Amino acid sequence: MSLEYPQTTYPASANPGRARQVRTFVLIWLGVTLVVGAAAFAAIFVATGFILPSGGMLPVNAAAAAITSPTPIQMRVVQPTSTPPLPTPTQALALAAAVTSTPTQEPSATPTLTAMQSTAFDFGIQVQESFDIYDYWMTVVSDQLHLDWIKQQVRWENIEPVQGQYDWALLDVVLPTAQQHGVRVMLSIVTAPEWAREPGADLTKHGPPANFQDYVNFVTAILDRYPGMVSAIEVWNEMNIDREWASVNGLSTQNYMRLLQMTYQAVKAIDPGIIVISGALSPTGGWVEPNGVVSAIDDFQYMDGLIQNGLLQYADCVGAHHNGYNIGPLVPWDEAPRDPEAATAIFRGPFDNPHHSWSLYSTLTTYANKIQLAGGNQRLCITEFGWAVAEDLGGYPRGFEFAQDNTLQEQADYLIEAVQWMEESDIVWLAWVWNLNYGAQAGWDPTNDNVPYSILRPNSVPAPAWDAIARYRMEHFGGNS
């Protein structure tokens, strides 16, 4: 769920955060004790003025304000029947500090949002570029799958490896070709190059630039070069885990919000019609390393911090990720142990260690309710969702044992069930399936963590999901628009 390139052997955003998420869950459930809940509450309240509800830490004043906030969206809200183990007092205080650290600069006045493209629900797919046959893949997207959106991840470090020197080869192919086929493009722009990183930053991990203006300048350069070819921009990716936001200042909602604010304002100054999406979070629990470093912040807690620091002023759509592990899209986290899949599942995470981050339904409905309770009218943009399948691969990537439990038919059923629910619930604006063809680009290597999600399977055989998506598109949308 993060870096979504075949050469990257990284767990998540789909892709980069998934394996890390699984390892994090295991560590959390093995290492966190069940008997210090009261101490955690007391320590947090006394030291920071925070309380810790089941969904993560929320400032007391924000919790009080929520009482008089607008009525939550009219849909089934997840009501846990049990609460995941609380962190120890030391861990809880470290996590609270990570979310409430002083921002480097206060946000400016709220901008005026401008009219954009249709707000009707739509969905697309992520495509791995292959320069020599990219026109073919766009034909597949538009004429066979009948989709009119793709997601393209843009790794800043690859395009501007030296400050001011750009290699536009990737986007020179992707953007004009997509435009020729009537396919709209969402760019997810991530990974600062080494020259832009903070002094002392861990360069073995991805992270933000020292000067956020450098990122803004890069985004601006893209829009100046390709006017009218970019329909949406996702500002960063999974910034609640240090694998994606390795900063000397740690994981900080305030610092990310400064980056989002600056980028939002710059994009709107160039083209007000471009949809600005906040970086999708990695669905995960919080984790503090033995040395006290916060390496992951619970996504519910991090979302609270984003909202408190101006998210709803500087995002047209709130980004989200979810890969369904080995449960269906509408299974709440606390009902997973009673789901029929529990009887035969090899991977036991959602069934033996229930946690909200296993569940697409719980994750997305909770985000949506947080937004509405804060007075926002933004919907979600699911910049990556899918189900991994090992059925025809002869193996699976390390950390992706859940891929053994999903069949190709279940992949198709889950994807369509998720899309239908997104459309009917009216809490999702745009969504992108992860993924079309990474399997082919990686030679269907069973150890590559992008391959199990591909809907193009070994020997270039379309998975059942391929036909299911095309059929749903034609029946509900009338094909590529």
Give the closest residue to 126 by CA, choosing from 432, 380, 460.
432
pLDDT at position 35, please?
33
Dump pLDDT digits (tens) for 338-352.
999 999 999 999 999
Count Cα neighbours of 45 within 13 Å in the Cβ-side half-sphere: 10
pLDDT at 3 over 60: no
- Residue 117 confidence class, pLDDT cut points 50, 70, 90: low
pLDDT at 41 over 60: no
Highest mean pLDDT among 30-44, 87-101, 318-332: 318-332
pLDDT at 98 over 70: no
Give the residues across from 197 on adjacent strands: 209
Whether residue 223 lies inside any domain: the answer is yes
Segment among 100-114, 150-164, 410-424, 440-454 with least mean pLDDT: 100-114
pLDDT at position 40, please?
37
For the residues 216-242, what does the mean pLDDT come to?
98
pLDDT at position 7, please?
28
- The enclosing domain of 368 has a CATH number of 3.20.20.80
pLDDT at position 104, please?
39
Q: Which tokens hold the place of 297?
A: 């912040």
Whether residue 120 lies inside any domain: the answer is yes
pLDDT at position 32, please?
37
- Residue 479 confidence class, pLDDT cut points 50, 70, 90: low
Of all residues in the chain, the percent with pLDDT exceeding 90 is 73
pLDDT at position 153, please?
96
Which single residue is written with the structure tokens 């390139």? 5
pLDDT at position 46, please?
29
Which single residue is written with the structure tokens 């709209």? 184
The answer to whether residues 39 and 74 touch, using CB atoms and an 8 Å cutoff, is no
Give the residues across from 84 on adjacent strands: none
pLDDT at position 99, please?
54
pLDDT at 228 over 70: yes
- Residue 129 confidence class, pLDDT cut points 50, 70, 90: confident
The answer to whether residues 248 and 204 touch, using CB atoms and an 8 Å cutoff, is no
Which single residue is written with the structure tokens 């789909």? 14
Whether residue 8 lies inside any domain: the answer is no
pLDDT at position 118, please?
80
For the residues 230-240, what does the mean pLDDT come to?
98
Of all residues in the chain, the percent with pLDDT exceeding 70 is 75
Dump pLDDT digits (tens) for 135-156.
999 999 999 999 999 999 999 9
pLDDT at 111 over 50: no
pLDDT at position 93, please?
41
Residue type, 92: A
Mean pLDDT of the chain: 82
**45 or 186, greater pLDDT:** 186
Whether residue 420 lies inside any domain: the answer is yes
**40 or 405, greater pLDDT:** 405
- Report the domain count for the chain: 1
Helix then strand then coil, in percent of the chain rounded to 5, is: 40, 15, 45
Whether residue 11 lies inside any domain: the answer is no
Distance CA 133, CA 359 (A): 36
Dump pLDDT digits (tens) for 407-436.
999 999 999 999 999 999 999 999 999 999
pLDDT at position 172, please?
97
Whether residue 6 lies inside any domain: the answer is no
**117 or 161, greater pLDDT:** 161
pLDDT at 134 over 90: yes
Whether residue 408 lies inside any domain: the answer is yes
The answer to whether residues 323 and 432 touch, using CB atoms and an 8 Å cutoff, is no
Residue type, 344: T
Whether residue 13 lies inside any domain: the answer is no
- Residue 163 confidence class, pLDDT cut points 50, 70, 90: very high
pLDDT at 386 over 50: yes
Distance CA 211, CA 19 (A): 30
Q: In degrees, to the nearest 5, what angle opens at C-alpha 419 toward C-alphas 347 and 275? A: 115
Total residues belonging to the chain: 481
Alpha carbon 61 to chain centroid distance?
A: 28
Dump pLDDT digits (tens) for 286-301.
999 999 899 999 999 9
Is the link from the previous residue into 435 a cis peptide, with omega within 30 of 0? yes
For the residues 355-377, what does the mean pLDDT come to?
98
Could you report how far apart the first and last alpha carbons of the chain are, in Å? 28
pLDDT at position 480, please?
63
- DSSP-derived 3-state class of residue 115: coil
Q: Which domain range does residue 167 map to? A: 18-477
pLDDT at 4 over 50: no
Dump pLDDT digits (tens) for 65-93.
222 222 233 333 333 333 334 344 344 44
